[in-house]
Amino acid sequence: MGRLPCCDKNGVKKGPWTPEEDQKLIDYIRVHGPSNWRILPKNAGLQRCGKSCRLRWTNYLRPDIKRGRFSFEEEETIIQLHSVMGNKWSAIAARLPGRTDNEIKNHWNTHIRKRLVRSGIDPVTHSPRLDLLDLSSLLAAILNQPNFSSVATHASSLLNPDVLRLASLLLPPQQPLPNPNTLYASNLDQNLQTPNTSVSSQDTQPQAECTTPTTDETSYFEPVNARLEVGPSDVLPPLSESLDLDSLMSTPNYSPQQNNIEAEANSSSLFDFGFPDNITFDDFMGLL
DNA sequence: AAGCCGATCAACCGCAATGTT
DNA sequence: CAACATTGCGGTTGATCGGCT
């Protein structure tokens, strides 16, 4: 079917709104309510398209809009909801009173997504991106430290355990990995459960322990025998796929069906540790 | 001081969904 | 039921600002 333009382009102003225009829109809606956006600009004395008026109202002028920095709780909620809903910004906004879909979308694209990428988490699948790091150089740098044990302990609180485990796989043969079971012998006694076995990047389940310092640290260095049974090709997609920069930085179409209920639960635990109320998400990520 | 560059976010565009005649 | 109107949504753009050289 044919579509008429949403408004007559002639004589319709575009670009940033002036305070006078804002006031006209507010005054009109205060009296008549937000309805029939097509005739609203004409009745309100605005040289604007109805669509522009609606956007200005819903995204900026509405009295119930909360502005300012996103709190950590809000950001965590966004991450959790995005892991389940994907780019359904309006649905996410519906769960965050006072925030608009546009605001959440902008915040995701400019802050959250970049930081997830930087910390090795795929912002689309919310699972660790093992392909983002120069793993062998990372691990070599760690191993070259005089006090490897302390460095590893520190790094383990920052890095995805799967990344470290994979790094051990990718190490050149001339750099034998110190026996992790010795390094973490004291911890093994407390961690008798079955270690993680799969680090497939195609596994869409978020790795909850990724940034959680309190989880199974011994899994970073699970028994060598187990690691030797798989090779890098078993845990990484082909390079042509994994190193596509566009795919890293873009947010492609996303199917919520890819994730199951467990993904929702796990994603929420991504940042599931004690967090002071007076620190923001920005502050937290700046520490990493 | 000027120019460059990246980050941010308000606003726009196009399409899909929904409502109305 | 088709045609059209309206609204909602997500992706993208571009103006602006601050930091850096």
Average pLDDT over residues A85-107: 87
Averaged confidence pLDDT in chain A? 59
The region that residue A126 occupies, defined by phi over 0 for left and psi between -120 and 50 for alpha, beta otherwise, is left
- Whether the beta carbon of A20 falls within 7 A of nucleic chain B: the reply is no
Q: Which of residues A119 and A164 earns the better pLDDT score?
A: A119
Dump pLDDT digits (tens) for A132-170: 455 545 555 555 555 545 444 444 444 444 444 444 444
pLDDT at A147: 52
Q: Check pLDDT > 60 for residue A97.
A: yes
Nearest nucleotide over every DNA/RNA strand to the A252 CA, judged by C1': C11
Rounded to whole angstroms, the Cα distance separating A254 from A17 reads 33
Q: Residue A91 pLDDT > 50, yes or no?
A: yes
Average pLDDT over every residue of A260-282: 43
Distance between alpha carbon A131 and the CA centroid of its chain, in Å?
16
Kindly state the average pLDDT of the residues A207-214: 33
Q: In the structure, how many helices (H) and strands (E) does chain A have?
A: 18, 0
Query: Residue A171 gets which letter from DSSP?
Result: S
Q: A32 beta carbon < 7 A from strand C?
A: no
Q: Is the CB of A38 under 7 A from strand C?
A: yes
| A100 CA vs C12 C1’ separation (Å) | 18
* A6 CB inside 7 Å of strand B: yes
Return phi, psi of residue A144, to 5°.
-80, -10
A18 CA to C14 C1' in angstroms comes to: 17
Residue by residue, DSSP assigns A39-57 as: THHHHHT--S-HHHHHHHI
Mean pLDDT of all residues in A195-207:
34
pTM: 0.57
Euclidean distance between CA atoms A127 and A53, whole angstroms? 39
User: Which of the listed ranges A49-58, A160-169, A184-193 does the model predict with the highest average pLDDT?
Assistant: A49-58
- Give which of A19, A32, A89, A93 is closest to A61, Cα–Cα: A19
Percent of chain A clearing pLDDT 90 (strictly above): 0
Q: Which chain A residues 111-170 have CB under 7 A to strand B? A: 111, 114
Measured distance CA(A141)–CA(A136) in Å, rounded? 8
Only one residue has tokens 């150089």, namely A137
Q: Nearest residue to B15, CA vs C1'?
A: A3
Determine the pLDDT at residue A176. 37
The pLDDT value recorded for residue A32 is 84
pLDDT at residue A240 tops 60: no
Residue with more model confidence, A161 or A47? A47
Report, as an integer, the average pLDDT of A167-178. 41
Q: Retrieve residue A50's tokens.
A: 């109805």
Kindly report the number of other CB atoms within 10 A of residue A135's CB atom.
21
Estimate in Å the CA A280 to C1' C11 gap, whole number.
28
pLDDT for res A129: 64
User: Which nucleotides in chain C lie closer than 7 A to a protein CB?
Assistant: 3-12, 15-16
Burial of A212: CB neighbours in 10 Å, binned 0-12, 13-18, 19+: middle
| pLDDT > 50? residue A117 | yes
Q: Cα Rg for chain A, rounded, in angstroms? A: 25
Most confident stretch, A38-42, A205-209, A263-267: A38-42
Which window residues (181-220, chain A) lie with Cβ within 7 Å of strand C?
none
Q: For residues A96 and A79, what is the distance between their CA atoms, to the nearest angstrom? A: 12
A15 beta carbon to strand B: under 7 Å: yes
Closest residue to B8 by CA to C1' distance?
A: A110
Q: What is the pLDDT of residue A187?
A: 35
Number of C-beta neighbours around residue A207 at 10 A: 24
pLDDT at A72: 84
- Give the tokens for residue A244: 């596509």
Q: Which nucleotides of strand B are protein-proximal, with an atom < 7 A from a CB?
A: 7-15
Q: If we measure between CA atoms, which residue out of A209, A195, A228 comes closest to residue A270?
A: A209
CB of A59 within 7 Å of some strand B atom: yes
Answer for the pair A82, A76: CB distance below 8 angstroms, yes or no: no
